[in-house]
Structure 1
Protein backbone atom coordinates (compact mmCIF):
# COMPACT_ATOMS: atom_id res chain seq x y z
CA UNK A 1 0.00 0.00 0.00
CA UNK A 2 1.11 3.53 -0.59
CA UNK A 3 1.79 5.69 2.46
CA UNK A 4 0.47 8.83 0.83
CA UNK A 5 -2.93 9.85 -0.53
CA UNK A 6 -3.26 11.64 -3.85
CA UNK A 7 -5.74 14.55 -3.91
CA UNK A 8 -7.73 12.92 -6.75
CA UNK A 9 -7.76 9.47 -5.16
CA UNK A 10 -10.85 7.54 -4.16
CA UNK A 11 -8.83 5.67 -1.53
CA UNK A 12 -7.85 6.71 1.99
CA UNK A 13 -5.16 4.67 3.73
CA UNK A 14 -5.33 4.48 7.50
CA UNK A 15 -3.13 2.62 9.97
CA UNK A 16 -3.48 1.43 13.52
CA UNK A 17 -1.57 -0.54 16.12
CA UNK A 18 -2.39 -3.70 18.04
CA UNK A 19 -0.72 -4.68 21.31
CA UNK A 20 -0.38 -8.26 22.51
CA UNK A 21 1.68 -10.41 24.85
CA UNK A 22 3.26 -13.74 24.05
CA UNK A 23 3.25 -15.26 20.55
CA UNK A 24 1.70 -13.28 17.71
CA UNK A 25 -1.97 -14.17 17.09
CA UNK A 26 -2.93 -15.93 13.89
CA UNK A 27 -5.74 -13.47 13.21
CA UNK A 28 -6.79 -10.04 14.46
CA UNK A 29 -10.17 -8.41 13.99
CA UNK A 30 -9.73 -4.89 12.63
CA UNK A 31 -12.56 -3.70 14.89
CA UNK A 32 -10.29 -4.46 17.87
CA UNK A 33 -7.43 -2.30 16.56
CA UNK A 34 -8.68 1.25 17.06
CA UNK A 35 -5.97 3.62 18.26
CA UNK A 36 -6.48 4.49 21.96
CA UNK A 37 -8.01 7.95 22.17
CA UNK A 38 -8.14 9.62 25.58
CA UNK A 39 -11.88 8.95 25.81
CA UNK A 40 -14.31 6.68 23.94
CA UNK A 41 -15.69 7.61 20.51
CA UNK A 42 -19.14 6.12 20.14
CA UNK A 43 -20.12 4.79 16.74
CA UNK A 44 -16.76 5.33 15.06
CA UNK A 45 -13.37 3.68 14.57
CA UNK A 46 -10.21 5.81 15.00
CA UNK A 47 -6.93 5.14 13.16
CA UNK A 48 -3.81 7.10 12.24
CA UNK A 49 -3.99 9.28 9.13
CA UNK A 50 -1.12 10.91 7.23
CA UNK A 51 2.55 10.01 6.89
CA UNK A 52 3.95 12.03 9.79
CA UNK A 53 1.17 11.08 12.16
CA UNK A 54 1.72 7.42 11.38
CA UNK A 55 5.47 7.60 11.94
CA UNK A 56 5.02 9.43 15.24
CA UNK A 57 2.27 7.02 16.25
CA UNK A 58 4.39 3.96 15.50
CA UNK A 59 7.27 5.37 17.57
CA UNK A 60 4.89 6.06 20.45
CA UNK A 61 3.45 2.54 20.15
CA UNK A 62 6.92 1.02 20.31
CA UNK A 63 7.77 3.04 23.42
CA UNK A 64 4.47 2.04 25.04
CA UNK A 65 5.02 -1.63 24.20
CA UNK A 66 8.57 -1.58 25.58
CA UNK A 67 7.45 0.15 28.78
CA UNK A 68 4.67 -2.36 29.36
CA UNK A 69 6.55 -5.45 28.14
CA UNK A 70 4.19 -5.98 25.25
CA UNK A 71 4.53 -6.75 21.57
CA UNK A 72 2.83 -4.61 18.94
CA UNK A 73 2.11 -4.75 15.27
CA UNK A 74 0.90 -2.28 12.64
CA UNK A 75 -2.34 -2.78 10.73
CA UNK A 76 -2.90 -0.90 7.46
CA UNK A 77 -6.30 -0.69 5.81
CA UNK A 78 -8.00 1.03 2.90
CA UNK A 79 -11.25 2.98 2.87
CA UNK A 80 -12.90 3.38 -0.53
CA UNK A 81 -14.58 6.73 -1.14
CA UNK A 82 -17.52 7.29 -3.46
CA UNK A 83 -16.29 10.80 -4.26
CA UNK A 84 -12.86 12.17 -5.11
CA UNK A 85 -10.95 13.97 -2.38
CA UNK A 86 -11.33 17.73 -2.54
CA UNK A 87 -8.04 19.27 -3.76
CA UNK A 88 -9.12 22.66 -2.42
CA UNK A 89 -10.08 24.02 0.98
CA UNK A 90 -13.41 22.52 2.01
CA UNK A 91 -16.39 24.90 2.03
CA UNK A 92 -19.90 24.16 3.33
CA UNK A 93 -21.32 23.88 -0.18
CA UNK A 94 -18.65 21.26 -1.02
CA UNK A 95 -19.88 18.87 1.67
CA UNK A 96 -22.47 17.03 -0.50
CA UNK A 97 -19.81 16.36 -3.15
CA UNK A 98 -17.16 14.74 -0.94
CA UNK A 99 -17.09 11.96 1.64
CA UNK A 100 -13.70 12.72 3.18
CA UNK A 101 -12.98 15.83 5.23
CA UNK A 102 -9.85 16.99 7.03
CA UNK A 103 -9.64 19.72 9.65
CA UNK A 104 -6.34 20.73 8.03
CA UNK A 105 -8.14 21.79 4.84
CA UNK A 106 -11.19 23.71 6.02
CA UNK A 107 -12.14 27.19 4.85
CA UNK A 108 -13.20 29.86 7.34
CA UNK A 109 -16.85 29.31 6.45
CA UNK A 110 -16.45 25.55 6.91
CA UNK A 111 -14.91 26.15 10.33
CA UNK A 112 -17.89 28.34 11.24
CA UNK A 113 -20.20 25.49 10.22
CA UNK A 114 -18.24 23.08 12.39
CA UNK A 115 -18.37 25.43 15.36
CA UNK A 116 -22.16 25.67 15.03
CA UNK A 117 -22.49 21.87 15.14
CA UNK A 118 -20.34 21.61 18.27
CA UNK A 119 -22.08 24.55 19.94
CA UNK A 120 -25.48 22.90 19.44
CA UNK A 121 -24.25 19.62 20.94
CA UNK A 122 -22.72 21.34 23.98
CA UNK A 123 -25.82 23.49 24.49
CA UNK A 124 -27.91 20.31 24.73
CA UNK A 125 -25.60 19.23 27.56
CA UNK A 126 -26.12 22.53 29.36
CA UNK A 127 -22.60 23.74 28.54
CA UNK A 128 -21.95 27.20 27.14
CA UNK A 129 -18.51 27.22 25.52
CA UNK A 130 -16.65 30.48 25.13
CA UNK A 131 -15.92 32.01 21.73
CA UNK A 132 -12.25 31.19 22.31
CA UNK A 133 -13.03 27.50 22.85
CA UNK A 134 -15.20 27.34 19.74
CA UNK A 135 -12.53 29.17 17.72
CA UNK A 136 -10.34 26.06 18.02
CA UNK A 137 -12.68 23.10 17.58
CA UNK A 138 -9.78 20.65 17.28
CA UNK A 139 -8.87 21.45 20.89
CA UNK A 140 -12.46 20.79 21.95
CA UNK A 141 -12.34 17.40 20.27
CA UNK A 142 -9.02 16.60 21.92
CA UNK A 143 -10.64 17.21 25.30
CA UNK A 144 -13.94 15.59 24.33
CA UNK A 145 -13.44 12.92 21.62
CA UNK A 146 -17.05 11.89 22.19
CA UNK A 147 -18.09 15.11 20.44
CA UNK A 148 -17.01 13.51 17.16
CA UNK A 149 -20.35 11.70 17.20
CA UNK A 150 -22.08 15.06 16.80
CA UNK A 151 -20.26 15.52 13.47
CA UNK A 152 -21.10 12.01 12.27
CA UNK A 153 -24.76 12.60 13.07
CA UNK A 154 -24.96 16.22 11.84
CA UNK A 155 -27.43 16.84 8.98
CA UNK A 156 -25.52 16.71 5.70
CA UNK A 157 -22.53 14.89 7.21
CA UNK A 158 -24.05 11.39 7.33
CA UNK A 159 -22.30 10.35 4.11
CA UNK A 160 -18.80 11.20 5.41
CA UNK A 161 -16.70 8.04 5.37
CA UNK A 162 -13.56 9.51 6.95
CA UNK A 163 -13.16 12.59 9.16
CA UNK A 164 -9.52 13.52 9.87
CA UNK A 165 -8.54 15.72 12.80
CA UNK A 166 -5.73 16.03 15.40
CA UNK A 167 -6.56 13.85 18.41
CA UNK A 168 -5.02 13.13 21.78
CA UNK A 169 -4.01 9.49 22.21
CA UNK A 170 -3.18 7.76 25.47
CA UNK A 171 0.10 6.45 24.02
CA UNK A 172 1.41 9.81 22.77
CA UNK A 173 2.30 13.05 24.52
CA UNK A 174 1.49 15.13 21.44
CA UNK A 175 -1.68 15.14 19.34
CA UNK A 176 -1.67 12.95 16.24
CA UNK A 177 -3.94 13.15 13.22
CA UNK A 178 -6.51 10.39 13.18
CA UNK A 179 -9.05 9.38 10.59
CA UNK A 180 -12.45 8.47 12.02
CA UNK A 181 -14.50 5.85 10.14
CA UNK A 182 -18.17 5.79 11.23
CA UNK A 183 -19.47 2.29 11.94
CA UNK A 184 -22.24 3.04 9.44
CA UNK A 185 -19.61 3.08 6.69
CA UNK A 186 -17.69 0.00 7.82
CA UNK A 187 -18.41 -1.71 4.51
CA UNK A 188 -16.27 0.95 2.80
CA UNK A 189 -13.18 -0.74 4.29
CA UNK A 190 -11.99 -2.91 1.42
CA UNK A 191 -8.60 -4.26 2.44
CA UNK A 192 -6.49 -4.71 5.56
CA UNK A 193 -3.05 -6.19 6.16
CA UNK A 194 -0.50 -6.57 8.94
CA UNK A 195 2.66 -4.66 8.06
CA UNK A 196 5.12 -6.03 10.62
CA UNK A 197 3.65 -9.54 10.72
CA UNK A 198 2.37 -10.35 7.22
CA UNK A 199 1.41 -13.84 8.37
CA UNK A 200 -1.30 -12.45 10.65
CA UNK A 201 -4.72 -12.39 8.98
CA UNK A 202 -6.82 -9.25 9.51
CA UNK A 203 -10.55 -9.89 9.53
CA UNK A 204 -13.15 -7.25 8.67
CA UNK A 205 -16.27 -8.27 10.59
CA UNK A 206 -18.16 -5.12 11.63
CA UNK A 207 -18.23 -3.83 15.21
CA UNK A 208 -21.19 -4.64 17.41
CA UNK A 209 -23.72 -1.78 17.52
CA UNK A 210 -22.78 -0.99 21.11
CA UNK A 211 -19.03 -1.40 20.68
CA UNK A 212 -16.74 1.55 21.37
CA UNK A 213 -13.63 1.27 19.21
CA UNK A 214 -11.13 2.77 21.60
CA UNK A 215 -8.65 1.09 23.89
CA UNK A 216 -9.50 3.87 26.32
CA UNK A 217 -13.11 2.76 26.66
CA UNK A 218 -12.68 2.58 30.40
CA UNK A 219 -11.40 6.14 30.69
CA UNK A 220 -13.95 8.76 31.62
CA UNK A 221 -14.42 11.76 29.34
CA UNK A 222 -12.53 14.82 30.62
CA UNK A 223 -14.62 17.89 31.32
CA UNK A 224 -14.64 20.81 28.94
CA UNK A 225 -12.47 22.77 31.33
CA UNK A 226 -10.02 19.95 32.11
CA UNK A 227 -6.93 20.87 30.16
CA UNK A 228 -4.37 18.87 32.07
CA UNK A 229 -2.52 15.88 30.57
CA UNK A 230 -3.99 12.46 31.23
CA UNK A 231 -1.74 9.84 32.76
CA UNK A 232 -2.02 6.09 32.39
Structure 2
Protein backbone atom coordinates (compact mmCIF):
# COMPACT_ATOMS: atom_id res chain seq x y z
CA UNK A 1 0.00 0.00 0.00
CA UNK A 2 1.22 3.49 -0.83
CA UNK A 3 2.25 5.48 2.24
CA UNK A 4 2.87 9.22 2.24
CA UNK A 5 3.70 9.53 5.92
CA UNK A 6 6.37 12.20 6.30
CA UNK A 7 5.79 13.59 2.80
CA UNK A 8 4.74 17.16 2.05
CA UNK A 9 2.91 18.26 -1.08
CA UNK A 10 1.71 21.34 -2.92
CA UNK A 11 -1.39 20.74 -5.03
CA UNK A 12 -2.88 23.43 -7.25
CA UNK A 13 -6.59 23.49 -7.94
CA UNK A 14 -7.24 21.44 -4.82
CA UNK A 15 -10.59 22.93 -3.84
CA UNK A 16 -12.69 20.84 -6.23
CA UNK A 17 -12.71 18.10 -8.85
CA UNK A 18 -9.52 16.16 -9.55
CA UNK A 19 -7.49 18.44 -7.31
CA UNK A 20 -9.76 17.89 -4.34
CA UNK A 21 -9.77 14.12 -4.87
CA UNK A 22 -5.97 14.09 -5.10
CA UNK A 23 -5.48 16.25 -2.01
CA UNK A 24 -7.86 14.13 0.05
CA UNK A 25 -6.32 10.86 -1.16
CA UNK A 26 -2.75 11.91 -0.38
CA UNK A 27 -3.82 13.34 2.98
CA UNK A 28 -5.62 10.11 3.86
CA UNK A 29 -2.40 8.24 3.02
CA UNK A 30 -0.38 10.38 5.41
CA UNK A 31 0.82 13.42 3.47
CA UNK A 32 0.78 17.00 4.67
CA UNK A 33 -0.80 19.16 1.99
CA UNK A 34 -0.89 22.82 0.99
CA UNK A 35 -3.45 23.74 -1.65
CA UNK A 36 -3.18 26.69 -4.03
CA UNK A 37 -6.64 27.67 -5.27
CA UNK A 38 -8.65 30.82 -5.87
CA UNK A 39 -11.72 29.29 -4.27
CA UNK A 40 -12.97 28.21 -0.85
CA UNK A 41 -10.56 25.90 0.98
CA UNK A 42 -10.99 22.30 2.02
CA UNK A 43 -11.67 21.78 5.71
CA UNK A 44 -9.32 18.99 6.72
CA UNK A 45 -6.64 19.14 9.40
CA UNK A 46 -3.92 17.67 7.15
CA UNK A 47 -4.64 20.24 4.43
CA UNK A 48 -3.67 23.91 4.57
CA UNK A 49 -5.01 26.39 2.07
CA UNK A 50 -3.60 29.39 0.25
CA UNK A 51 -6.21 31.35 -1.70
CA UNK A 52 -4.51 32.89 -4.73
CA UNK A 53 -4.72 33.50 -8.47
CA UNK A 54 -2.35 31.25 -10.41
CA UNK A 55 -2.26 33.68 -13.33
CA UNK A 56 -0.33 36.05 -11.03
CA UNK A 57 3.27 34.79 -11.05
CA UNK A 58 4.16 37.06 -8.16
CA UNK A 59 1.45 35.37 -6.10
CA UNK A 60 2.88 31.99 -7.13
CA UNK A 61 6.29 32.94 -5.74
CA UNK A 62 4.82 34.23 -2.47
CA UNK A 63 2.63 31.14 -2.11
CA UNK A 64 5.52 28.72 -2.60
CA UNK A 65 7.52 30.55 0.06
CA UNK A 66 4.55 30.39 2.42
CA UNK A 67 3.99 26.69 1.71
CA UNK A 68 7.64 25.89 2.32
CA UNK A 69 7.49 27.71 5.64
CA UNK A 70 4.35 25.78 6.61
CA UNK A 71 5.55 22.37 5.46
CA UNK A 72 9.26 22.69 6.18
CA UNK A 73 10.02 20.95 2.87
CA UNK A 74 8.26 20.14 -0.40
CA UNK A 75 8.48 16.56 -1.65
CA UNK A 76 5.62 16.62 -4.12
CA UNK A 77 4.16 19.14 -6.58
CA UNK A 78 0.95 18.37 -8.45
CA UNK A 79 -0.18 20.99 -10.97
CA UNK A 80 -3.88 20.37 -11.48
CA UNK A 81 -5.54 23.79 -11.67
CA UNK A 82 -6.81 24.64 -15.12
CA UNK A 83 -9.39 26.54 -17.11
CA UNK A 84 -11.19 25.70 -20.32
CA UNK A 85 -12.74 28.67 -22.12
CA UNK A 86 -14.31 27.72 -25.48
CA UNK A 87 -13.38 30.12 -28.29
CA UNK A 88 -13.36 29.80 -32.08
CA UNK A 89 -10.19 30.87 -33.88
CA UNK A 90 -12.13 33.26 -36.11
CA UNK A 91 -13.69 34.85 -33.03
CA UNK A 92 -10.49 34.78 -30.99
CA UNK A 93 -10.77 36.67 -27.72
CA UNK A 94 -7.29 37.72 -26.57
CA UNK A 95 -8.30 37.86 -22.90
CA UNK A 96 -9.67 34.30 -22.95
CA UNK A 97 -6.65 33.08 -24.90
CA UNK A 98 -4.06 34.61 -22.59
CA UNK A 99 -5.99 33.66 -19.43
CA UNK A 100 -6.00 30.01 -20.50
CA UNK A 101 -2.27 29.97 -21.22
CA UNK A 102 -1.49 31.84 -17.99
CA UNK A 103 -3.28 29.33 -15.76
CA UNK A 104 -2.74 26.11 -17.70
CA UNK A 105 0.85 26.59 -18.88
CA UNK A 106 2.76 29.55 -17.45
CA UNK A 107 1.81 28.87 -13.82
CA UNK A 108 2.76 25.15 -13.83
CA UNK A 109 6.08 25.90 -15.54
CA UNK A 110 6.89 28.68 -13.07
CA UNK A 111 5.92 26.46 -10.14
CA UNK A 112 8.23 23.73 -11.47
CA UNK A 113 10.98 26.37 -11.53
CA UNK A 114 10.30 27.47 -7.95
CA UNK A 115 9.57 24.11 -6.36
CA UNK A 116 12.20 22.32 -8.44
CA UNK A 117 14.84 24.51 -6.79
CA UNK A 118 13.61 23.41 -3.36
CA UNK A 119 13.56 19.76 -4.38
CA UNK A 120 17.04 19.96 -5.91
CA UNK A 121 18.47 21.01 -2.54
CA UNK A 122 16.69 18.03 -0.97
CA UNK A 123 17.93 15.65 -3.71
CA UNK A 124 14.37 14.35 -3.92
CA UNK A 125 11.10 15.26 -5.58
CA UNK A 126 8.06 14.09 -7.46
CA UNK A 127 6.15 16.32 -9.88
CA UNK A 128 3.01 15.56 -11.86
CA UNK A 129 1.38 17.95 -14.31
CA UNK A 130 -2.23 17.38 -15.30
CA UNK A 131 -2.59 17.65 -19.06
CA UNK A 132 -5.34 16.18 -21.24
CA UNK A 133 -5.99 13.94 -24.20
CA UNK A 134 -6.46 17.28 -25.97
CA UNK A 135 -2.72 17.74 -25.74
CA UNK A 136 -2.41 15.27 -28.62
CA UNK A 137 -5.89 15.35 -30.17
CA UNK A 138 -8.33 18.21 -30.17
CA UNK A 139 -11.73 19.56 -31.19
CA UNK A 140 -13.26 22.86 -32.32
CA UNK A 141 -13.19 25.77 -29.87
CA UNK A 142 -10.28 24.27 -27.92
CA UNK A 143 -7.35 26.21 -29.41
CA UNK A 144 -5.86 27.73 -26.25
CA UNK A 145 -6.69 24.71 -24.11
CA UNK A 146 -5.07 22.28 -26.54
CA UNK A 147 -1.99 24.48 -26.95
CA UNK A 148 -1.58 24.77 -23.19
CA UNK A 149 -1.80 21.03 -22.61
CA UNK A 150 0.49 20.07 -25.51
CA UNK A 151 3.08 22.60 -24.37
CA UNK A 152 2.84 21.42 -20.77
CA UNK A 153 3.57 17.86 -21.88
CA UNK A 154 6.67 19.16 -23.66
CA UNK A 155 7.68 21.11 -20.55
CA UNK A 156 7.20 17.94 -18.51
CA UNK A 157 9.69 16.07 -20.67
CA UNK A 158 12.20 18.91 -20.51
CA UNK A 159 11.91 19.16 -16.72
CA UNK A 160 12.30 15.39 -16.38
CA UNK A 161 15.61 15.53 -18.25
CA UNK A 162 16.94 18.57 -16.41
CA UNK A 163 15.82 17.46 -12.93
CA UNK A 164 16.89 13.80 -13.12
CA UNK A 165 20.34 14.43 -11.63
CA UNK A 166 18.66 15.84 -8.51
CA UNK A 167 16.52 12.78 -7.84
CA UNK A 168 13.36 14.48 -9.13
CA UNK A 169 10.89 12.54 -11.28
CA UNK A 170 8.53 14.54 -13.49
CA UNK A 171 5.51 13.11 -15.31
CA UNK A 172 2.15 14.12 -16.71
CA UNK A 173 -1.29 12.57 -16.44
CA UNK A 174 -3.67 13.10 -19.36
CA UNK A 175 -7.33 12.45 -18.55
CA UNK A 176 -10.13 12.10 -21.05
CA UNK A 177 -13.71 12.76 -20.01
CA UNK A 178 -13.98 13.35 -16.26
CA UNK A 179 -17.11 14.08 -14.27
CA UNK A 180 -16.23 17.52 -12.93
CA UNK A 181 -17.70 20.98 -13.37
CA UNK A 182 -15.39 21.52 -16.38
CA UNK A 183 -17.73 19.25 -18.33
CA UNK A 184 -20.53 21.78 -17.84
CA UNK A 185 -21.00 24.42 -20.56
CA UNK A 186 -23.80 26.98 -20.51
CA UNK A 187 -25.46 25.11 -17.67
CA UNK A 188 -25.50 21.74 -19.45
CA UNK A 189 -23.33 18.74 -18.60
CA UNK A 190 -21.79 17.36 -21.79
CA UNK A 191 -21.55 13.94 -20.14
CA UNK A 192 -25.35 13.81 -20.05
CA UNK A 193 -25.74 14.97 -23.65
CA UNK A 194 -27.15 12.85 -26.46
CA UNK A 195 -23.99 13.29 -28.55
CA UNK A 196 -21.73 12.01 -25.76
CA UNK A 197 -23.93 8.99 -25.12
CA UNK A 198 -24.26 8.22 -28.82
CA UNK A 199 -20.66 8.72 -29.95
CA UNK A 200 -18.68 7.65 -26.92
CA UNK A 201 -20.89 5.14 -25.12
CA UNK A 202 -23.18 3.50 -27.66
CA UNK A 203 -20.59 3.51 -30.47
CA UNK A 204 -17.86 2.48 -28.01
CA UNK A 205 -15.40 5.27 -28.79
CA UNK A 206 -14.88 5.09 -25.04
CA UNK A 207 -14.10 1.39 -24.37
CA UNK A 208 -14.72 1.71 -20.63
CA UNK A 209 -18.20 3.03 -21.16
CA UNK A 210 -18.30 5.81 -18.58
CA UNK A 211 -16.60 9.07 -17.81
CA UNK A 212 -13.89 8.97 -15.17
CA UNK A 213 -14.56 10.09 -11.63
CA UNK A 214 -11.98 12.42 -10.07
CA UNK A 215 -10.72 9.61 -7.83
CA UNK A 216 -9.79 7.55 -10.92
CA UNK A 217 -7.34 10.25 -11.92
CA UNK A 218 -6.18 10.87 -8.36
CA UNK A 219 -5.14 7.24 -7.93
CA UNK A 220 -2.89 7.43 -10.99
CA UNK A 221 -1.32 10.64 -9.74
CA UNK A 222 -0.77 9.11 -6.31
CA UNK A 223 1.32 6.27 -7.70
CA UNK A 224 3.46 8.57 -9.83
CA UNK A 225 4.30 10.83 -6.86
CA UNK A 226 4.89 7.94 -4.46
CA UNK A 227 8.10 6.12 -3.59
CA UNK A 228 6.69 3.13 -5.48
CA UNK A 229 7.70 5.05 -8.59
CA UNK A 230 11.48 4.92 -8.76
CA UNK A 231 12.19 4.99 -12.50
CA UNK A 232 9.28 6.46 -14.48
CA UNK A 233 9.99 10.03 -15.59
CA UNK A 234 9.31 12.21 -18.62
CA UNK A 235 6.15 10.28 -19.47
CA UNK A 236 2.54 11.22 -20.12
CA UNK A 237 0.12 8.65 -18.73
CA UNK A 238 -3.24 8.65 -20.50
CA UNK A 239 -6.05 7.91 -18.06
CA UNK A 240 -8.96 8.03 -20.46
CA UNK A 241 -10.77 4.70 -20.31
CA UNK A 242 -9.04 3.52 -23.48
CA UNK A 243 -10.34 6.37 -25.63
CA UNK A 244 -6.94 7.32 -27.07
CA UNK A 245 -6.29 3.69 -28.04
CA UNK A 246 -9.14 3.80 -30.55
CA UNK A 247 -8.70 4.78 -34.21
TM > 0.5 fold call? no
Q: Choose between structure 1 and 2: higher helix proportion.
A: 2
Task: Give TM-score, length-normalised by structure 2.
Answer: 0.29
Greater relative contact order structure (CA < 8 Å, 6+ sep): 1
Task: Give TM-score, length-normalised by structure 1.
Answer: 0.30
Q: Choose between structure 1 and 2: higher strand proportion.
A: 1
